[in-house]
Chains A and B, each alone.
Chain A
Amino acid sequence: LAKTTQPISMDSYEGQEVNITCSHNNIATNDYITWYQQFPSQGPRFIIQGYKTKVTNEVASLFIPADRKSSTLSLPRVSLSDTAVYYCLVGSPDSSASKIIFGSGTRLSIRP
């Protein structure tokens, strides 16, 4: 069971780049790393997924070092609307769904 560890909360300001790091020391060979974003009164929303090195989409970038024991979600030029809880999950297509743990997430607060 790949457990993840993230900071409980982070604060930043509009226009800044925000990096949220997740530790997953016992990640398995077949595991992918997936990040979700959750706003109040909504379900989690997929942001990005990666296996190694760097992945970028229109929303964020995901940096994964060679040992894959951690990953960093990078949000460029955040705005107030990026205030949300961010979850890092680890698992593979072969895993039982019950093995993919949401954890406590990181509560990101963006200030003007």
Chain B
Amino acid sequence: EAGVTQFPSHSVIEKGQTVTLRCDPISGHDNLYWYRRVMGKEIKFLLHFVKESKQDESGMPNNRFLAERTGGTYSTLKVQPAELEDSGVYFCASSQQLRNEKLFFGSGTQLSVL
């Protein structure tokens, strides 16, 4: 069974540009989560989808971040325009029916904004 897949693994962009991160959860997992860790800080929750609906987006830092999960399958996280402080590792995770049970994480996308 394939795990959670994230693309790209690394992205280097300039301040003001746009970047879109993609996450493919494990097939059949209704719950999809985005987290991030900025340099030297803890892993922080960004948002949670149940199928295509945003269940909790309280962790999204500002309106430069837009997450979508059309059709309830893969998800994208767009940062527009990117700022220096957006640099960090963005993790995606998925789980089955119950929230907050065992989460399966992807390897993350390392985003560097120069």
Q: How many residues of B contact A (CB 8 A)?
A: 26
Interface 1/0s, chain B 71-114, versus A by CB < 8 A?
A: 00000000000000000000111000011111111111000000
A100/B104 contact (C-beta < 8 A), A43-B4, A93-B99 known = no
Alpha-carbon gap, A45 to B52, bound state (A): 25
Partner of B108, one of A43, A49, A104, A105: A43
6 tightest A-B CB contacts, nearest first: A43-B105, A97-B48, A102-B43, A46-B102, A93-B98, A98-B58
State the majority secondary structure of interface residues on A: loop
The residue in chain A whose Cβ has the minimal distance to the Cβ of B103 is: A46
B residues whose Cβ falls under 8 Å from a Cβ of A: 4, 33, 35, 42-45, 48, 55-56, 58-59, 91-93, 98-108
- A-B contacts, 17 of them at CB < 8 A, read A32-B100, A42-B105, A42-B107, A42-B108, A43-B4, A43-B92, A43-B106, A44-B43, A44-B105, A46-B102, A46-B103, A91-B100, A93-B100, A93-B101, A94-B99, A101-B42, A105-B42
A15 in contact (CB, < 8 A): no
| CB of A81 closer than 8 Å to a CB of B | no
Which residues of the other chain, B, contact A32 by a CB distance below 8 angstroms? 100
